[in-house]
Structure 1
Amino acid sequence: MFISPAYAQTATQGASAMGLIQFAPMVLLFVAFYFLLIRPQQKRVKALQNAVAAVKKGDSVVTAGGLMGKITKVDETTVEIELAPNVKVRAVKATLAEVQTAGGAKPAND
């Protein structure tokens, strides 16, 4: 044989350590993506789900289609939104993209 068994074993052990070192940046990249992208998005989704579940009459909402109005009636899965005086539409709660509670924001001090 051209290569002794001891030399061949040393070469394979070094290659496995090099593979682990090359894999480490991928793991660090995934951890960074998790904390910078995935986790904040999960928090936003959970906050929106809680806000939609707690929606009540008088809240201002924006639907996923871009309609803005006030809630006039709340059912189990649907809400009635007043877009303008005497203009009401029904929407599924799951399509609400933003909920602003009545009296939730303070006016700016001028």
Structure 2
Amino acid sequence: MAWVLLIIAGLLEIAWALALKQADGLTKFWPSVIGIGIAMTSLVLLAFALKHLSVGTAYAVWVGIGVFGVAAFGMMFLHEQISAMRILFLVLIGIGVAGLRAIEA
């Protein structure tokens, strides 16, 4: 169950980062409220997952999911730069997250 909570927390990290991008430096009310609310939920789920997982692995997986997801979303939908090197490094993050999950099982 801890892994499920951690994965949900990581997916929520993607959502809050994108909401805060839309909040334009916290100058837009609803995107700011949504982003901060989702961030708090993500942190609470991370905290619950940490009751059963090592902090180093859990935090790395949480951040890795967020980094990979936000960067992929940005390239696909926000017209951010796409390059072979950027994709390579995102794949390496994905491999790292999967590897940490495999050894922590």
TM-score interval for Structure 1 and Structure 2 normalised by the shorter chain: under 0.3
Larger radius of gyration: 1
Tell me which of the two structures has the higher relative contact order, counting C-alpha pairs closer than 8 angstroms and 6 or more residues apart.
2
Per residue, is there more strand in 1 or in 2?
A: 1
Per residue, is there more helix in 1 or in 2?
A: 2
